[in-house]
Chain A
C-alpha cells in the first residue's frame, strides 16, 4: 500500500527521496495520481512538500528562479513571465494548469513536457538537493539525459536568465486538436540578434526524442548569420539532427520527421502556423 509523508521543509523531503528508492515526490498530482488511479503505483511512499520555498518565485531581476512547486497558473498570473505564457498555456486546460508544476513537467514523458522545452531554450539550470545538504545547480540538458536513471534527489527550483529582448524568444506547440491537444511536437527558440546577426542561438524540441532535446544542427546553421531565407533553409536542412521521435497514438515517427522542418521554417520566418 502507498504511504504518504508530508514534509514541511525541502531538506526533509530531499532526505527521504535520497534514502528511499521507493519514495516518489508528488507535486500537483497530474503525473503521479494518474499512475495511482491506473493501479501502476501501489507500493512505496508519496512525498509531499508544504515548504513555502517550494512555490517561491523570484522574477524581478535579470536572473529568474522558480520553485519546482510553482504551477502553470502561477506563471500565467505573473506579468514578468509574459515570454513564458505561450509555453504555460500549452499545458492542459485551466484545471490542469492550476495543478501542474514546473518541477513535474521536467519529468513528463514524451509527448508531454512542453514547458521544459521552453526552459531548455532558455539555458535553464535545475537546482537539485540530495540529502540534507544545500542545493546544487545542474544544466537542464544534463538533468534530462540522466532523468531515466532517477535518484538525482529533489528538484527544488529552476533558474534561468531573462531574455534581454523577450521578442527574441518563441514557443510553438503543434497539435491537431485546438485549442488543447497533445503535442505532435513543440519548438522553442531563443535567437538573440547582435548587429543584425543571430548570436548564440538556442533551439529546443519536444516530442522529437524521449526527452526534450537541443537542436544543435539548427543552432549551428543560424549562429552568426542574419535570419534570412538562406539561413532558414540551412536550419530546415539541419532540423532533424539528433531526433529520435516515437510513434504513438498522436503521430507516427515518419509524420513527426516530415512536419518538423516545415513548422521550424514557419517559426523562424515569423509566419503563422
Chain B
C-alpha cells in the first residue's frame, strides 16, 4: 500500500511527511517527526496521555487518523515553552509538584491549555471536568488541579 503525503503545522512550523493510510497521528508525531511530547499510553482513548491540540481543540492523537490532519495546526507540549521561558502552566506544575512519575504530564498540560484558552478563570469543577479524560496514577489529582488553578491566576497564563 502506497504511503500518503501529509502536511500540517506542528508547533508553528510547517512539517511534511509520508504516512501509511491508517496511521494514527501519535505514530506520525513520534516516529515520523520525532516529537516525543505526546506519549503512547493505552491506545484506546482512555488515559489521555497522547492529548494534543488540533486547531486549538483537544484530541487524542492515538485515535486520530493522521491524514485527517492535512493542513491543520497541531500543538504539543514540545512547543509550549518560549525558548528558555517555560509556559505558565509548566511553571505552575513544577511549583505545585504536579508531576510525580511524569508520564501523564503532557496530556494534563495539554488538557489544561485547552481549558485556559477558552476559559481563563475556571472554577475548580471546570478544571476537574477539563482533565476528566486524563488518568494520573501517582498524584491523586489534587496537585494538578491546584497547579492549573494557580496558572489561571498567573500573569501571562492566557498565552495559548
Against B, the Cβ 8 Å flags (1 = close, 0 = not) of A29-41 are 1100110111000
Name A28's closest neighbour in chain B (CB-CB).
B63
Instruction: Say yes or no: is A6 at the interface (Cβ < 8 Å to chain B).
Output: yes
Query: Given A2-B22, A4-B21, A48-B68, are A96 and B1 also a contact pair (CB < 8 Å)?
Result: no
- Taking CB atoms and an 8 Å cut-off, the chain A residues in 69-114 that contact chain B are 73, 92-96, 98-99
CA distance A180 to B4 in the complex (A): 36
Residues of B within 8 A of A95 (CB): 45, 48, 51, 58-60, 111, 133
Asked whether, in the complex, the Cβ of B44 is within 8 Å of the Cβ of A37, the reply is: yes
Which of B1, B4, B64, B133 contacts A33, CB < 8 Å? B64
Interface-lining segment among B29-37, B124-132, B148-156: B124-132
**Nearest-CB distance from A70 to chain B (Å)?**
14
Chain A residues touching B, majority SS: mixed
Residues of A within 8 A of B94 (CB): none
Which of A28, A34, A93, A180 contacts B44, CB < 8 Å? A34
Asked whether, in the complex, the Cβ of A36 is within 8 Å of the Cβ of B24, the reply is: yes
Asked whether, in the complex, the Cβ of B22 is within 8 Å of the Cβ of A98, the reply is: no
Which of B58, B111, B115, B134 is packed against the most chain A CB atoms within 10 Å? B58
Instruction: Say yes or no: is A243 at the interface (Cβ < 8 Å to chain B).
Output: no
Residues of A within 8 A of B54 (CB): 98
Residues of B within 8 A of A180 (CB): 132-133
**Nearest-CB distance from A158 to chain B (Å)?**
22
CA distance A29 to B43 in the complex (A): 12
Which of B20, B21, B63, B132 contacts A99, CB < 8 Å? B63
**Nearest-CB distance from B139 to chain A (Å)?**
16
CA distance A38 to B21 in the complex (A): 16
Asked whether, in the complex, the Cβ of B24 is within 8 Å of the Cβ of A33, the reply is: yes
Instruction: Say yes or no: is A3 at the interface (Cβ < 8 Å to chain B).
Output: yes
Query: Given A26-B65, A30-B45, A34-B45, are A4 and B59 also a contact pair (CB < 8 Å)?
Result: no
CA distance A38 to B107 in the complex (A): 21
Which of B4, B63, B132 contacts A4, CB < 8 Å? B4
Residues of B within 8 A of A93 (CB): 48, 111, 131-134
Residues of A within 8 A of B111 (CB): 93-95
CA distance A6 to B63 in the complex (A): 17
CA distance A29 to B22 in the complex (A): 11
Residues of B within 8 A of A167 (CB): none
Instruction: Say yes or no: is A179 at the interface (Cβ < 8 Å to chain B).
Output: yes
Instruction: Say yes or no: is B114 at the interface (Cβ < 8 Å to chain A).
Output: yes
CA distance A33 to B132 in the complex (A): 21
Instruction: Say yes or no: is B91 at the interface (Cβ < 8 Å to chain A).
Output: no
Asked whether, in the complex, the Cβ of A37 is within 8 Å of the Cβ of B59, the reply is: no
Name A45's closest neighbour in chain B (CB-CB).
B21
Name B54's closest neighbour in chain A (CB-CB).
A98
CA distance A179 to B134 in the complex (A): 12
CA distance A26 to B23 in the complex (A): 13
Query: Given A98-B57, A99-B59, are A6 and B45 also a contact pair (CB < 8 Å)?
Result: no
CA distance A30 to B4 in the complex (A): 22
Instruction: Say yes or no: is B99 at the interface (Cβ < 8 Å to chain A).
Output: no
Instruction: Say yes or no: is B67 at the interface (Cβ < 8 Å to chain A).
Output: yes
Instruction: Say yes or no: is B147 at the interface (Cβ < 8 Å to chain A).
Output: no
Against B, the Cβ 8 Å flags (1 = close, 0 = not) of A100-130 are 0000000000000000000000000000000
Residues of A within 8 A of B65 (CB): 4, 26, 29, 33, 46, 48
Name B27's closest neighbour in chain A (CB-CB).
A37
Instruction: Say yes or no: is B62 at the interface (Cβ < 8 Å to chain A).
Output: yes
**Nearest-CB distance from B53 to chain A (Å)?**
9
Residues of A within 8 A of B20 (CB): 1-2
Top 8 nearest A-B pairs (CB, nearest first) are A93-B133, A4-B21, A37-B43, A180-B132, A2-B22, A95-B58, A33-B63, A29-B63
> Which residues of B does A touch, CB under 8 Å?
1, 4, 20-22, 24, 43-45, 48, 51, 54, 57-60, 62-65, 67-68, 111, 114-115, 128-134
Q: Show 7 A/B contacts (Cβ-Cβ < 8 Å), sorted by A.
A: A30-B60, A33-B62, A37-B44, A38-B43, A94-B129, A95-B59, A99-B64
